[in-house]
Amino acid sequence: MVLAIDICNTNIKVGVWDGDNLLFVSRLETDRFKTEDGYAIELKNVFELYNVDCLKTHGSIISSVVPQITNAMANAVERLTGKKPIVVSPGIKTGLNIKTDDPAQLGSDIVVGAVAALSKYPKPIIIFDLGTATKISIIDANSCFLGCVILPGVRIGFDALSERAAQLPQVGLEAPDDIIGKNTIDSMRSGAVFGTASMMDGMVERIENRLSQKATVIATGGNLGDITSYCKSNVIHDANLLLEGLLIIYRKNVPVKL
């Protein structure tokens, strides 16, 4: 078994692979003040919840965009499993041909998602990762990672709107019945869902024009909701893309039979 952990700004996604079978997926809250003991206890509780023996893991791999807790999580995993985890960082084998100005600056989550997408989808590929930040990754027909687009995430954008505009409340990401809102909440939901879907469609069109060909469009991340179902583009929802990428990278760096 392989423990895969993806640390994002809001949530930590935890999955355990038994060969190619994903035994479970769990989410923890990202807490920059939690100690390694605290994370070890949370991980132990998750393993127990799903009746999986953590000591039977062959190894583990972590991707993180929150440097403040990367070491705490790595130490927690080692204490729990007895094995030092791989941390996705410059220098480990990924097989990804990165064509950006400084490949070392590329976020580990973006690398992991691209590795997974290349393993299972036709090229070129556009990946939307809708998390705390919305990240759009572009891979060309020659399997080269060309670069990405980054903008505020759906949730953080509307949280900021509520904080800065006194009369605007917190809203969920459910689509209203009509694109034209008749009240404040439905108006904001329309912006969140239909506005984001329109952004995705517009960016797909622009990127495909830049590539001069149609692309496979993938969406993943914690703020997807039903947004992709309102896109005019053909968008494939792949909830566990990053966990798959972590498993692939683990196998590239620990060539053992699992």
* Positions marked catalytic: 109
Give kind and range of the element (H or E) at residue 27: strand 21-29
Give kind and range of the element (H or E) at residue 7: strand 2-7
Q: Dihedrals φ, ψ of 25, to 5°?
A: -130, 130
Alpha-carbon distance of 59 to 256, in angstroms, equals: 10
- Angle made by CA atoms 198, 213, 93, in degrees to the nearest 5: 90
Compute the CA torsion angle 15, 240, 199, 106 (nearest 10 deg): 70
Cα–Cα distances (Å) from 141 to 9, 126, 145, 211, 239, in that order, read 31, 11, 10, 9, 23
Alpha-carbon distance of 231 to 178, in angstroms, equals: 15
Task: Name the residue among 124, 120, 117, 112 with its Cα closest to residue 251.
Answer: 112
**Are 6 and 69 in contact, with CB atoms under 8 Å apart?**
no
Q: Which two tokens stand for residue 2?
A: 């392989």
